[in-house]
Amino acid sequence: MTPSQKGAKNTQVETSLQGAVDSPTPVASPRALVSPKGARRWASGHPWIYRSDVVKRPDVHAGAVLVENAAGAPLGWALWSPRSEISLRLLDRSPNAQIDARWWRARLEGAIARRGALKDVASAFRLVHGEADGCPSLVCDRYDRWLVVQLLSAGIERFRREIVESLLALVQPEGILARNDVPVRAKEGLARETVLLAGDVPREIEVIEYGLRYLAAPWDGQKTGAFLDQRENRALAGAIARGRALDCFSYHGSFALHLARQAASVTALDASAPALARARENAARNAIRNIEFIEADAFEWLRAAERRRERFDTIVLDPPAFAKTRDALSSALRGYKEINLRAMRLLAPGGMLFTASCSYHLTKALFLEVLEAAAADSGRRIALREMRGQPLDHPEVLTIPETGYIKGALLEALD
Ligand code: SAH
């Protein structure tokens, strides 16, 4: 971070704190004028307008602004982020909308209602998936009786109070934690912090997913405390599991727990000892005793297992995002190919592999190409049984590619 960004960070925090006490809609409505290219993005279903397409910048702090096209016709309301490359994020196409407490409550209520069906299968799921739910740069995950939110832009920070009050009214949680410690906040000139916004939130929360219990770590776990986005894929892996199973990149063992219900034995592998310690606790919590935990580098271990001619009936590969940036894509592709190739070779005849990638930069088409290339080198006849994506609480909106990042495939070794 540059010194000037650091300075701006403090200013921005003051602004957002002010936002918590001031009225949300400024008296004279501030306007942004956008170029035809900027207007076209909204017309095609994408909510972002970049700095370079803002012809006239509103002379106000972050918050809600009215957006007009070059001819002065109103296009709707947006969140305004003065420091960000993403300057405007669409909130409402109606120029008559009032972005106030009632507006936020109605918007959040809609998002929460879409998740109604999940209550029957899990006590932890996403309530708000940012742009996909029309709540740009806002994430809200439910962990049993508590909520964890992420306010990821200066514009959304301005509405912190309205959002917190709406969530308290709609969900009645015992506490709301902001996991605002993510790097993207720096680009908005915002502080990186983990803070309580309401009530209290425990360090660990037991959640239930398809009858299995595991601990989420809202204060310091990955993401907002657990990988909620793979819930349905874990259930799938559990349903097809049998014989000898392997869960690579196991983290807190969530795939391994599902595999262990039907498989005879499970090997859960991860490079992180603390992650495996938690995985062991999660297994004990479910009285599961058929999981062996191995601390190892997955690349090395898979290679060695292939040399030992080991065989598995069920394998799960759920690695971290190898391509965190577009520049990292080519080396990431090699990584994905390598682990998939090894896993394919380790499959027993008739064995099943569930393989995933959560790299946004690896498209669905590229993911399939990687799997085809790995299958070609594996010397095995590998069938694609099913392509998988994101669960209903992480909707992937077709016109907003950024809302989708998880790709999964269920493969079968036919020989
Ligand atoms: N499958 C998990 C999420 C996996 S997160 C779930 O559904 O909850 C990715 C995990 O990969 C992390 O726990 C990290 O410690 C582990 N990891 C990263 N690089 C690794 C490597 N080279 N070998 C083994 N594990 C690795």
Could you read off the pLDDT of 195-240 as tens digits, one per residue? 999 999 999 999 999 999 999 999 999 999 999 999 999 999 999 9
**pLDDT band, very low/low/confident/very high, at 20 (cuts 50, 70, 90):** very low
Instruction: Specify whether 275 is located in the same domain as 389.
Output: yes
**pLDDT band, very low/low/confident/very high, at 324 (cuts 50, 70, 90):** confident
pLDDT of residue 60: 94
Average pLDDT over residues 284-307: 98
Instruction: Specify whether 44 is located in the same domain as 138.
Output: no
**Protein residue with least CA distance to atom 12, ligand 1:** 251
- Domain with 178 in it: 3-23+100-205
Beta strands per DSSP E along 283-364? 291-295, 312-317, 347-357
pLDDT of residue 323: 85
Of 54, 76, 92, the last residue of a domain is 92
pLDDT in tens, 85-101: 999 999 999 999 999 99
Average pLDDT over residues 124-147: 98
Count up the domains in the chain and report the number: 3
Kindly state whether residue 213 falls inside one of the protein's structural domains: no
Q: Please indicate whether residue 297, judged by its CB atom, sits closer than 6 Å to ligand 1.
A: yes
Q: Please indicate whether residue 271, judged by its CB atom, sits closer than 6 Å to ligand 1.
A: yes
d(CA 400, CA 46): 5
What mean pLDDT, rounded, does the chain reach? 93
**Cα(249) to centroid(ligand 1), Å:** 3
Nearest atom (ligand 1) to Cα of 234 = 7
Kindly state whether residue 266 falls inside one of the protein's structural domains: yes
User: Where do we find the tokens 């997955």?
Assistant: 298
Kindly state whether residue 222 falls inside one of the protein's structural domains: no
Q: Please indicate whether residue 312, judged by its CB atom, sits closer than 6 Å to ligand 1.
A: no
Of 147, 173, 205, the last residue of a domain is 205
Q: Please indicate whether residue 230, judged by its CB atom, sits closer than 6 Å to ligand 1.
A: yes
Q: Please indicate whether residue 209, judged by its CB atom, sits closer than 6 Å to ligand 1.
A: no
Q: In the chain, what percentage of residues exceed pLDDT 90?
A: 91
pLDDT in tens, 389-408: 999 999 999 999 999 999 99
Kindly state whether residue 219 falls inside one of the protein's structural domains: no
Nearest atom (ligand 1) to Cα of 226 = 8
* Token pair of 142 as six digits: 């439910």
| Inter-CA distances, 171 with 112, 122, 145, 175, 391, Å | 9, 16, 9, 10, 21
Nearest atom (ligand 1) to Cα of 320 = 9
Instruction: Specify whether 170 is located in the same domain as 240.
Output: no
Catalytic sites, residue numbers: 358
CATH number at residue 46: 2.30.130.10
DSSP tag of 346: H
